[in-house]
Amino acid sequence: MKSSNIVVIDYGMGNLWSVLNAFHYLDYEPIVTHDPDVIACAKTLILPGVGSFRKAMVSLRKTGIDQAINDAVLDNGSKILGICLGMQLMGNKSYEDGETLGLGLIPQSVDRFSSDEIGSNKIPHIGFNSVHSLSDSKLFRGIPSAADFYFVHSYRMLANGLTGKAATCNYGSEFLAAYEKNNIFATQFHPEKSQTNGLLLLKNFLAQ
């Protein structure tokens, strides 16, 4: 197994074991930490996510992890992959459980699916849905342009006019399924729970 400089950020709320399983399968042994100094120096960061936005942001701020992530990504050019809530935390702000500011790495806000958007669909959006990726996406290299990935969420970012849109998904209407711009990557779905499609996406991320 390759020892690597992959750091999985542990803020007490992620589905950590699942994320680690996927990297182990790809023969990488990530470091799991909540230490801001380790995070600030990491070359590759994973921000996983199962949880509520507000609780997660409070935890990231209290521990100084928010600053450490921004130092690594914005100052040192380290690459980051946010997964599900992790992606949302990278946004400007979220309206889950009141308005809360995010890390600001993705210039988009996070809001609950509205009934106008989803029509007769249910909330949460749970299950495998077809993700449509852009042909020049690095994350989706080698993955069919419409491929199934696992979603479990009630909040989303919109894709309209966003530079860095890598993939969209349709759930009544279109929302942002994946984002990539320079060293900043994020997926609303769970690649670690999406069979070979997800494993290949993680492999592509590591290859950047």
Return residues touching other proteins (CB under 8 A): 12-18, 21-22, 24-27, 50-52, 54-55, 85, 96-97, 121-130, 142-144, 148, 150, 152-154, 170-171, 190, 192-200, 203
What is the identity of the amino acid at 96?
A: E
Instruction: Please indicate whether residue 84 is annotated as part of the active site.
Output: yes
Looking at the Cβ atoms of 19 and 72, the one nearer to other proteins is 19
Could you tell me the smallest distance in angstroms from the CB atom of residue 181 to other proteins? 25
Identify the active-site residue in 34, 41, 84, 174.
84
Buried b (16+ CB within 10 A) or exposed e, 50-76: bbebebbbebbeebebbebbebbbeee
Torsion angle of alpha carbons 30, 21, 191, 9, nearest 10°?
A: -40
Looking at the Cβ atoms of 21 and 182, the one nearer to other proteins is 21
Identify the active-site residue in 153, 169, 180, 192.
192
* Element at 57 (helix H, strand E): helix 53-63
Instruction: Please indicate whether residue 192 is annotated as part of the active site.
Output: yes
Cα separation, 67 vs 60, whole angstroms: 9
Catalytic residue numbers, as ranges: 84, 190, 192
